[in-house]
Amino acid sequence: MRTLTLGTSAALLLAAALAGAASAQTVQVDSAIAGYQKTSGVSGNLSSIGSDTLNNLMTLWAEGFKRQYPNINIQIEGKGSTTAPPALIAGTSQIGPMSREMKSEEIDAFEKKFGYKPTAIRVAVDALAVFINKDNPLDKLSFSQVDAIFSKARKCGGAKEIVSWGQVGVTGELATRPISLYGRNSASGTYGYFKEHPMCKGDFKDTVKEQPGSAAVVQGVTEDKAGIGYSGMGYKTSGVKALKISLKDGGDYVGVDDPTQVYSGAYPIARFLRVYVNKAPNKPLDPMVAEFVKYVLSNEGQQVVVKDGFLPLKAAMVQEEHAKLQ
Amino acid sequence: MEAHTVTGTDSHARPAAVGRTSRRRLFADRAARVVVAAGGIAIIASILGILLFILLEVAPLTRSATVAESGSAKLDSAAAAVVSDEYREHAAVLGRDGVVRAIRLSDGVEVGRARLPEAVTQAVALEGRAAFAAATADGRVLMMTVDWDAAFDAQQKRTVTPRFGEPVALDVDPHGQPVGAFAARSGDDGAAIVAAQLADGTLEVVRASAERNEMTGELTRSASRHESHPVQRFTRMTIDAEGRNLFAGTAQGELLWWTLTDGEPGAPQVVSAGPSPVTALTLLLGGRSLVVGQANGAISVWLEARQGDDELRLVRVRDFTLRAGQHGALQPGDAISLLAASPRNKGFMAADLSGRLGLFYSTSDRVLWTGKSPLSGATALAFAPKADGAALAGADRVVALAVGNPHPEVTLRALFGKIWYESYPKPEYVWQSTGGSDDFEPKLSLTPLLVGTLKGTFYSLLLAIPIGVLGAMYASQFMHPRLVRVVKPTVEIMAALPSVVLGFLAGLWLAPHVERGFPGLLLMLVVLPLLVLLAGAAFRALPQGVQHRFPAGAEVFLYFAVLAIGAWACLTLSDPVGRALFGGNFQNWLLRTTGLPYDQRNAVVVGLAMGIAVIPIIFAIAEDAFSNVPRNLVAGSLALGANRWQTVTRVVLPSASPGIFSAIMIGFGRAVGETMIVLMATGNTPIMSWNPFNGFRTLSANIAVEIPEAPQGGTLYRTLFLAALLLFVLTFMVNTAAEIVRQRLRQRYSEL
């Protein structure tokens, strides 16, 4: 286990290095989202275990939160969304960031221990990007093509399996090259989301190289000219290119870089990032956790979201999330 | 032990003179013996403890399922359909009179009731959500949801109250005639789809759809009505949750499958399930497997599978029966009357008319439980939402069943054999343990992982054995002792390199370089040994005077220089050679000529990286083995006129062979258990292929990748422990075999 942590931390180091190179965003945080109001008497240990996609974000929030309350000690671990529910249940973490919704089995296990269901709070919007090497001339794919590239089952209706770049219209030297697939490990929410949406719940091909982190996927595609991979858009670097995606063959191809398209739902693989907390019904949330969540939902917290390359929540969404804390 | 005998004789020799020192020594001696023994026992105990722990974690996988009655209550009206709440405290029963009664199972008290506008002719509980669909005598289908609200008081005590939704009615038959077989599904926001056969045989598909934009929460509604005119009369129908696939069974045992595009049925695909009438039909969770029950008691599972012509076909893949151990003539009571799919996995329950009940699991082809139903003549059966129970309702009673079914997915065949999974064209070995949604079918075949483990080990030993053993031979027999004193510790330090560093370098630096310079790598394989031989010959050809100018043993530096220059030259020549031999692109050439795909993260890269981790181990042990060959043997051989090479190959090598063998086996053990290099340098692709140019996934890397995500106590968690047990057994067997062979060889050569 120790070596594994080492492995992940190596991947994290890389992630931190790459995050600096993330592309500049022009998104503005909704001005209707109020700033953070500091309260008193918040101190102690706060622990978060969960999503790798949210890992950078959690770290940045933790830094900001610590500036408000220097007496707080925050630990963050991000190996994959699936690690969040067991940690919440065992009580080893108070915050469980997840890039997918909890499955009913996980909710059951939580409910078995506490008698009530966990509370999900949306904290940011993430569009998944499908990346290819920057030297690949391709610029768009449809869902059924993505499915036929990544999945064995082709449940989205692709007629033929796609194995080489020539089959999606790439010409030149790359045309005959087999497509080299990069993906996340199965603990990741991104893995699950990708399976459910662009692949219509089909299975990944066995040849998808499972990487322990989003940064490793991007790094893999950067180094592999015939590579294709997916991860949250926050991990985009200059070595890769994000494809335009369309829900239907010949439909509108939408780029991930256009925030309005993501908010309107026109970009087909966008999702909410969530943190799960253990809130007993009829009882207020633990003050430290409550303040952290409030910070995340504040203007400052959402600025951090923009800084890390994700999309901030809209004011109406923030309002809905605040209601859950009551 | 050695120390003990020495002090022992010592104290005997001079008993009186140094009594005090002797006693102190005696004490130190005993203490040391106790500490050493305790340490040894602790090691053995902890290994056994680990083994025991693994066994305890694995054992529950073999536990069988239980089904037992957990409560029952009286009913006022014959049941048409039943649903249970998620805590299994209540059941809601839809009676033939059109009344839905919510009953507390602990005391039979009715806690709520709702009334459909009229009496129902037939009804089903909608799988996947707490709702009923009921057909009425005037050709309508009514749907009603039953939600269970959990409220908590100040003591966190839970009370569950039923909340009945507004009935949604769809006019299926415009002429108001009662419908025949029907299938229905309802979704959120009032979305619903009903397919029914009308009295005149028309198939009517009525749909009200509501789609919500995930980002904005906006609702788009639409409605449609389509009909078609099949020739058959249907006995049962069912439809999947998305409203895309519609199935029907007939009295002649035919199965019909329509793919609905926006609610419009095309031409159905018709297959025969045998001559017996279809009496029950249900879809397993996810809607990809169809379970068919027939009048002759046959229960079969059908999948949509892509066949040779790339067309999706309905294929019969598995058969179950409730008539286990019963031969002889068919009874009317054998007819399967009820089927219910589990809302959590690919399991289902079946009941027949004679009151037999069974719990089955499709993926693993497992009969989990069969027995006598606590309620004979049941007319409705449904799983509880968490699949930890079920409700059975009949003419005057509703019975709740507790279902204990912890690990239905695992059988020996599921772990090591080929399984036909949903949406797969044929049975396959697959490892893909998790998906993002509840209806994912876990695929837990350990075979690809075993193959991956052996593949990784094979390719790394291919590099490590020759270099390690020959290196050790050279170092011990030919190299100058002064150099050996430097080389040996240096190589041993290599073993201390953290494997994560090696893995990281291999994955991110070596893999792309190997991909680009593969022709150069191949060239090295040929050129470097030749160069070394040439350099040796050249050195020997030098006049004796010049040769002696070099200090003894320094000729090895000549080889270093030659090797370095050779490697550099090969890498520089990589591109021209690649152009000349492979038309400029090795990967394309490989695919064209051999059909093998080249993957950047492949077994060659891992072999190189893991070789670096394994070489020091093999080298160190083999070097010891060579050095421990008695000097008198070597001296004797040389004295008899054998040259050095003859001495090494005919005398030293056989005597050292037990040690070399154990060096190789320990290297093998290291390679089998190696985790980080494989984890980081391969893509962890669980494929079954010996192609050195693609990746693999090993048992150990698989455990490291998946254990953090595995819910504790779940099937995946335990299966990973089983993989650990397998690794344990594998290394244990290899080490034991190595030890036995070593002992034999040692005995054989000890006479020398």
Statement: residue A69 has pLDDT above 80 = yes
Instruction: Provide, as residue numbers in chain A, all residues whose Cβ is less than 8 Å from the Cβ of B426.
Output: none
User: What residue type is assigned to position B234 of the chain?
Assistant: F
% of chain B beyond a pLDDT of 70: 96
Test mutation, A1, A9, A14, A186, chain B, max B CBs within 10 A: A186
Reference B202, options B222, B168, B174, B223; nearest CA is B174
State whether B432 and A203 contact (CB < 8 Å).
Answer: yes
State whether A105 and B498 contact (CB < 8 Å).
Answer: no
CA B738/CA B665 separation, integer angstroms: 6
User: What residue type is assigned to position B93 of the chain?
Assistant: V
Test mutation, A203, A310, A311, chain B, max B CBs within 10 A: A203
Q: Which residue of B has its CA nearest to A202?
A: B423
Which of A80, A106, A202 lies at the smallest CB-CB distance from B708? A80
**Inter-chain contacts counted by CB atoms under 8 A, chains A and B:** 196
Compute φ and ψ for B357, nearest 5 degrees: -135, 140
Q: What is the dihedral angle through the alpha carbons of B263, B265, B269, B270, rounded to the nearest 10 degrees?
A: 110
Range A70-89 average pLDDT: 89
Question: Please, are residues A215 and A239 in contact by the beta-carbon 8 Å criterion?
Answer: no
* B138-172 confidence digits (pLDDT tens): 889 999 999 888 888 878 788 889 999 888 888 89
Question: Please, are residues A154 and A148 in contact by the beta-carbon 8 Å criterion?
Answer: yes
CA A254/CA B547 separation, integer angstroms: 74
Residue B283 tokens read as: 């879809």
CA B596/CA B591 separation, integer angstroms: 5
State whether B601 and A209 contact (CB < 8 Å).
Answer: yes
State whether B152 and A262 contact (CB < 8 Å).
Answer: no
Range A210-219 average pLDDT: 87
CB A207: neighbour CB atoms within 10 A?
Answer: 21
Q: Which one is predicted more confidently, B470 or A103?
A: B470
Q: Does B679 touch chain A (CB under 8 A)?
A: yes
CA B303/CA B362 separation, integer angstroms: 11
Say what the pLDDT of residue B17 is: 52
Residue B217 exposed, middle or buried by CB count within 10 Å (0-12, 13-18, 19+): exposed
Residue spans of beta strands (DSSP E) within A90-176:
95-98, 119-133, 140-142
User: What residue type is assigned to position B156 of the chain?
Assistant: Q
State whether B705 and A186 contact (CB < 8 Å).
Answer: yes
Statement: residue B11 has pLDDT above 70 = no
Say what the pLDDT of residue B221 is: 82
CA atoms within 13 A on the CB side of A143: 20
Question: Please, are residues B286 and B441 in contact by the beta-carbon 8 Å criterion?
Answer: yes
* B330: confidence class by pLDDT, cuts 50, 70, 90: confident
* A30-55 confidence digits (pLDDT tens): 888 889 988 888 888 999 999 888 99
Question: Please, are residues B428 and B305 in contact by the beta-carbon 8 Å criterion?
Answer: no
CA B306/CA B344 separation, integer angstroms: 25
State whether A116 and B152 contact (CB < 8 Å).
Answer: yes
CA B745/CA B656 separation, integer angstroms: 9
Q: Does B158 touch chain A (CB under 8 A)?
A: yes
Statement: residue B680 has pLDDT above 90 = no
Say what the pLDDT of residue B374 is: 92
Statement: residue B20 has pLDDT above 70 = yes
Q: Which of residues 111-150 of B touch A (CB under 8 A)?
A: 150
Q: Which residue of B has its CA nearest to A207?
A: B685
Say what the pLDDT of residue B712 is: 74
Q: Which one is predicted more confidently, A188 or B2?
A: A188
* B390: confidence class by pLDDT, cuts 50, 70, 90: very high
CA B321/CA B334 separation, integer angstroms: 10
* A14: confidence class by pLDDT, cuts 50, 70, 90: very low
Q: Which of residues 491-510 of B touch A (CB under 8 A)?
A: 498-500, 503-504, 508
Say what the pLDDT of residue B1 is: 37
Residue A284 tokens read as: 């207020």
Shortest alpha-carbon distance between residue A207 and chain B (Å)? 5
Shortest alpha-carbon distance between residue A271 and chain B (Å)? 8
Say what the pLDDT of residue A8 is: 43
CB under 8 Å to B197, separation ≥6 — which residues? B179, B180, B181, B182, B203, B204, B230, B233, B234, B237, B248
Instruction: Provide, as residue numbers in chain A, all residues whose Cβ is less than 8 Å from the Cβ of B286.
Output: 201
Handedness of CA A191, A197, A199, A203 (dihedral sign): positive
Question: Please, are residues B117 and B142 in contact by the beta-carbon 8 Å criterion?
Answer: yes
Shortest alpha-carbon distance between residue B603 and chain A (Å)? 13
Reference B746, options B635, B662, B668; nearest CA is B662
- According to DSSP, the residues that pair with B185 across neighbouring strands are B193
pTM of the model: 0.85
State the average pLDDT for chain B: 88
Reference A270, options A245, A235, A289; nearest CA is A245
Residue B578 exposed, middle or buried by CB count within 10 Å (0-12, 13-18, 19+): buried
Say what the pLDDT of residue B16 is: 52
Instruction: Provide, as residue numbers in chain B, all residues whose Cβ is less than 8 Å from the Cβ of A82.
Output: 434, 708-711
Question: Please, are residues B445 and B364 in contact by the beta-carbon 8 Å criterion?
Answer: no
Statement: residue B324 has pLDDT above 60 = yes
* B575-612 confidence digits (pLDDT tens): 888 888 888 788 888 888 888 888 888 999 999 999 98
Statement: residue B426 has pLDDT above 70 = yes
Range B464-487 average pLDDT: 90
Statement: residue B8 has pLDDT above 50 = no
* B79-123 confidence digits (pLDDT tens): 999 999 988 999 999 998 899 999 999 888 999 999 988 888 899
Q: Which of residues 516-575 of B touch A (CB under 8 A)?
A: none
Residue A249 tokens read as: 């063959």
Instruction: Provide, as residue numbers in chain B, all residues whose Cβ is less than 8 Å from the Cβ of A194.
Output: 436
Q: What angle do CA B423, B426, B432 make, to 5 degrees?
A: 60
Say what the pLDDT of residue A13 is: 41
Count how many residues are written for chain A: 326
Q: Which one is predicted more confidently, B600 or B21?
A: B600
State whether B430 and A100 contact (CB < 8 Å).
Answer: no
Angle between helices B603-627 and B447-477 (to 10 degrees): 40
Say what the pLDDT of residue B713 is: 80
Reference B436, options A10, A223, A193; nearest CA is A193
Range B379-386 average pLDDT: 92
Test mutation, A177, A209, A256, A283, chain B, max B CBs within 10 A: A209
State whether A152 and B683 contact (CB < 8 Å).
Answer: no
* B212-255 confidence digits (pLDDT tens): 776 777 788 888 899 999 888 999 999 998 888 999 999 999 99
Q: Which residue of A has its CA nearest to B586?
A: A177
* B272-320 confidence digits (pLDDT tens): 998 999 999 999 998 889 999 999 999 999 998 888 777 888 999 999 9
Residue B361 tokens read as: 């699991």
Compute φ and ψ for B732, nearest 5 degrees: -60, -45
- According to DSSP, the residues that pair with B71 across neighbouring strands are B400
Distances (CA, A) of B629 to A173, B472, B491, B745: 58, 13, 21, 14
Say what the pLDDT of residue B578 is: 87
Residue spans of beta strands (DSSP E) within B59-119:
66-74, 79-84, 90-95, 99-104, 110-115
User: What residue type is assigned to position B535 of the chain?
Assistant: A
